[in-house]
Structure 1
Amino acid sequence: MKNMIQKELVDSFFAQFGESEITRLSIREVGKLVAQIEEKSGKEFIHMEMGVPGLPALPIALEAEKEALDLGLANSYPSIEGIPFAKNEIARFTKLFMNLDVTPLNCTPTVGAMQGSFAALLAAARTNPHKPYTLFIDPGFPVQKSQLHLMGVPFKSFDILNFRGEKLHEKLESFLSDGNICSICFSSPNNPSWICFSESELKTIGELATKYDVIVVEDLAYFGMDFRQHYGTPAVKPFQPTVAHYTDNYILLLSASKIFNYAGQRIGMMIISEKLRTRRYPNLKNYFTSDILGHFIPYGVLYATTAGTSHSAQYALAATLKAVNDSDFDFVAGLHPYGEKAKIMKILFLKYGFYIVYNDEDCELADGFYFTIAYPGMTSGELMKEFLYFGISAISLAITGSENPNGLRACVSFVRLDQMEVLENRLKEFQLSRQ
């Protein structure tokens, strides 16, 4: 059996990155490596490395942004705290889809959820000099750790794989009881594993955050995308599960990139509890003129980084939220193609000898944006590199904080339905090469 792509070609391009281990490459570096191999070989890859939208932007968002530009907003700075239209609709969305009572004062548009993450984690780290550490419940989005490295903020982490359900309480408290944790960060649905934290697990996190006075930064970038339940009808149960139902120490991060397919304009949302918004932390005075967290975040962090969020993109976000809030369309139903592709792809991987690394606690893993795979007898580095010879790309779980040495993250968004037969053929050839 000959590899579809010459081994020498793959190895020569990888060598240009100056890394000895392919698992150390960032998501964007893997994307660059694959693009180079693809161009030189002339072979189209099955792209599973990049977690970017694979659906078109919503027309309502495009029209709203065009209208905002036509009105001349491009020549004026937006408010640091966000335009009223966006803040009002974020607050409505929070109530209608999460059943949380917040006001527009608690809601801030950000330059993607990434800026929200940067601001929230930095602010939390500045609240108390005796609590310097962020705690990540891994696996997670690698760039959030990169943000902390950039800030010089230390962090701790543990892999959730063996601590689901009742085991989470003891594990989490073993970190919090040291008294040096300022924040807990996690995502649900989880990037990369696609596990979803249960209500009991969210309750555990929330109650312990309150007990130890820790801020929870909950990444809801994949809001509503656990398709085992339907979270797309406003003011109707079930509501999106969130730690905010169990603690007042929360900052929620949402993104228009995935749920509204609006990644290119970099627009997201931050929702901070009223308790945290108005709380005074004396240590903030060492970094800013105010010790009020809800003033420090917009005027101390957001102002110093981007001085606000794109004026026109805020109108796109606000118009989309208004349509969703008014029941003009079901945004969750529009995301179902991700789940349909995941279902097919998981069947194919299992058929050809792979296994799912992360399954959900008490039920079958949802079909959604990501899933995790491994092949018996192969490390993640071996599998990741071998895949390249067969025109398949994915990232290692190692950069997500996973303690499993064997797995890869597979993203479904860029894989087209007309590529499923190609994927099956390549997986079949891969399996034959291992025999």
Structure 2
Amino acid sequence: MELADRVQALTPSTTLAITSKAKALKEEGHDVIGLGAGEPDFNTPEDILNVAKKAMDEGKTTYTPAGGIPALKQAIIKKLQDDQGLSYTEEEIIVTTGAKHALYNLFQVLLNRGDEVVIPVPYWVSYPEQVKLAEGQPVYVKASEENDFKITPEQLENSITDYTKAVILNSPSNPTGTLYTQEELKALGEVALKHDLIIVSDEIYEKLIYGSDEHVSIAQLSDELKENTVVINGVSKSHAMTGWRIGYAAGNRQIIQAMSNLSSHSTSNPTTISQFAAIGAYSMDQHKLNEMKDAFEERLNKLHEWMSEIPGISCVKPKGAFYLFPNISEVVANSPFDSTDEWVKQLLEEEKVAVVPGSGFGSPENIRLSYATSLENLEEAAKRIARFVKKHSLN
């Protein structure tokens, strides 16, 4: 049976492949340390669980509008107003089955065949695949490590053609944890406005920023930028609710209505109980989330220190999310392995440490390590990686 061209062109997720292999080894009884996870290792807070239980007890288990219940839209509107000073109406908000679904719907309603979307590299694995599924064309712009994995206005300008429809900005970023400043976003925004581009602002990690830095949404910098920006966010990372699958998009009313229409003929509404749980997430005392954030910051500081001590590995220190993205090109060049992918595969086989090769993010010289696990696991993983590097060093 021949499948549709659109799915045959998809690149399998390297993250899921590594996670699957690590899980299989664990089930065989091996002591595997998994650093591939893209989700917090904390349970959903009890306040949220109680709201969900109450909703079930009250029989709130039926269909809702495809774009989400009004009460949740109001909670999102309040969150955007309180956190970013952004003002939206219910017609400018869609609730989706996770932020990934919001991105998928957005590209489906924005892109025609051949439309180009500028994607900074390194990128989250699903950006180019979703663009291709909408028959669009990814245009990759390599962000340098020297610039903390951030693209410049000049790079954006040089990537734009008559076919460019949108640009994706992910701050803080997966996989690098990089964070754009207000000045950097303003400069990129000026280029986008000059060419009338839609700015896809993926802000899913906005609550996980460390030190004195703060999250800035490009949509809050001017009315013009707000009109041209679709903000993508959700509760998965911020409230340890990955499995609840609630995300949202906020932006131009025409775009949001088209996304809602698409949902009505595909997924219908996001899970009803999850929507009420998300209301609980945005209604709870947000300071209760600091325990998770503080734990991530401590892990980041320690893991960055341990990895930076390994000869041949260089590592830009992230400012957000929960990933480290070390450059191991020198280590691989000084080993018997032909590529980072081979190095990663053998690391899992020999030392039972699962990391994600950077090739899946457009950066084959790097690896992604998630520090969404205990300090003890991270310390042991760093020791095993150091041992592996030393064992296979050709010098």
**Shorter-chain TM-score category?**
0.7 to 0.9
Shift of 1:61: 1.4
2:140 paired residue number: 157
1:312 correspondence with 2:273: yes
Tell me which residue corresponds to 1:294: 256
Kept in 2: contact 1:118–1:147 (CA 8 A)? yes
Aligned to 1:343: 301
Q: Does 2:248 correspond to 1:269?
A: yes
Is 1:260 the counterpart of 2:239? The answer is yes
Q: 1:354 to 1:337 in 2, by over 3 A?
A: farther
* Pairwise CA distance, 1:406: 1.8
Matched, 1:88 2:74: yes
Alignment of 1:321-340 (within 5 A): 321-324=282-285, 329-340=287-298
Q: Distance in 1 between matches of 2:50 and 2:181?
A: 38
1:365 shift after superposition? 3.4
* Matched residue type, 2:184: E
Q: Distance in 1 between matches of 2:12 and 2:88?
A: 41
Q: Which residue of 1 aligns with 2:365?
A: 406
Partners in 2 of 1:339 and 1:90 — Cα distance?
A: 26
Does structure 1 retain, via aligned residues, the 8 Å contact 2:185–2:218?
Answer: yes
**Aligned residue type for 1:297:** M
Aligned equivalent of 2:56: 69
Residues 345 and 420 in structure 1, CA contact (< 8 A), matched pair in contact too: yes
1:206 aligns with 2:164: no
Q: Which amino acid aligns with 1:373?
A: P
Cα offset, 1:382, TM superposition? 3.5
Give the conservation status (yes or no) of the 8 Å contact 2:235–2:281.
no
Aligned to 2:207, the other structure's residue is in SS state coil
**2-side partners of 1:420 and 1:208: how far apart?**
41
Residue 387 (structure 2) pairs with residue 434 (structure 1): no
Q: Aligned pair in 2 of structure 1 residues 25, 118: CA closer, same or farther (>3 Å)?
A: closer
- Aligned-partner SS, 2:141: strand
- Does structure 2 conserve the Cα–Cα contact (< 8 Å) formed by 1:138 and 1:158? yes
Q: Is the 1:216–1:251 contact (alpha carbons within 8 Å) kept by the matching residues of 2? A: yes
Q: Over residues 77-116 of structure 1, what are the superposed CA-to-partner deviations in whole Å (9 max), with x where a residue is unaligned?
A: 1112211111111011001111212223322211000101
Counterpart amino acid of residue 180 in structure 1: Y
Q: Structure 2 matches for 1:348-387, cutoff 5 A?
A: 348-357=306-315, 359=316, 365-366=318-319, 368-375=321-328, 376-378=330-332, 379-387=339-347
Deviations 1:2-42 (A, max 9, x none): xxxxxxxxxxxxxxxxxxxxx976211111112222333x2
Change (3 A) 1:227 1:384: same
Q: 1:341 to 1:383 in 2, by over 3 A?
A: same
Q: Which has the higher mean CA deviation after the structures are superposed, 145-154 or 305-314? A: 145-154
Counterpart of 1:373 in 2: which secondary structure?
coil
User: Partners of 1:354 and 1:383 in 2: how far apart?
Assistant: 14
Displacement after TM superposition at 1:407 (Å): 0.9
Q: Quote how far apart the aligned CAs of 1:180 are.
A: 0.9
8 Å contact from structure 1 (residues 184, 214) kept in 2: yes
**Gapped regions of structure 1 (runs ≥ 5):** 1-22, 231-237, 278-291
AA aligned opposite 1:119? N
How far the C-alpha of 1:306 sits from its partner, in A, is 0.6
Contact 1:342 1:367 in 2 (8 A): no
**Given residue 85 of structure 1, which amino acid in structure 2 is its aligned partner?**
A
Ranges in structure 2 where 5+ consecutive residues have no aligned partner: 1-10, 333-338
CA distance in 1: counterparts of 2:378 and 2:147, whole angstroms:
33
TM-score, L = length of structure 2: 0.87
1:417 maps to 375
Is 1:37–2:37 an aligned residue pair? Answer: no
Following superposition, the deviation at residue 344 of structure 1 comes to: 1.2
The question of 1:103 aligning with 2:82 is answered no
Deviation at 1:332, TM superposition (A): 4.4
Q: 1:53: how far off?
A: 1.7
Is 2:162 the partner of 1:179? yes
1:83 & 1:223 partners in 2: Cα distance? 24
Amino acid at match of 1:26: T
Corresponding residue to 2:110 among 124, 139, 142: 124
Q: In the superposition, relative to structure 1, how do residues 428 and 161 fare at CA in structure 2: closer, same or farther (>3 Å)?
A: closer
The structure-2 alpha-carbon separation of the partners of 1:57 and 1:383, relative to structure 1 and needing over 3 Å to count, comes to same
What is the aligned-residue identity percentage?
Answer: 19
Displacement, 1:250? Answer: 0.6
Instruction: Give SS of 2:237's match.
Output: helix
Corresponding residue of 2:354: 393
- In structure 2, the CA distance between the partners of 1:32 and 1:420, relative to structure 1 (3 Å rule), is closer
SS at match of 1:34: helix
Deviations 1:29-74 (A, max 9, x none): 111112222333x222121112122111011211111111111121
CA distance in 2, matches of 1:257, 1:294: 21
Question: Equivalents in 1 of 2:31, 2:362: separation in Å?
Answer: 30
Greater mean deviation of Cα atoms: 424-433 or 383-392: 424-433
Superposed CA offset, 1:173-211 (max 9, x none): 1122x2211111121111001111122221122222221
For the aligned residue pairs, the C-alpha RMSD in angstroms reads 2.3
Partner SS for 1:224: coil
Q: Distance between the aligned counterparts of 2:169 and 2:340, measured in 1?
A: 23
Please state whether the residue corresponding to 2:120 is helix, strand or coil.
strand
**Partner amino acid for 1:343?**
N
| Shift, 1:167, TM fit | 7.0
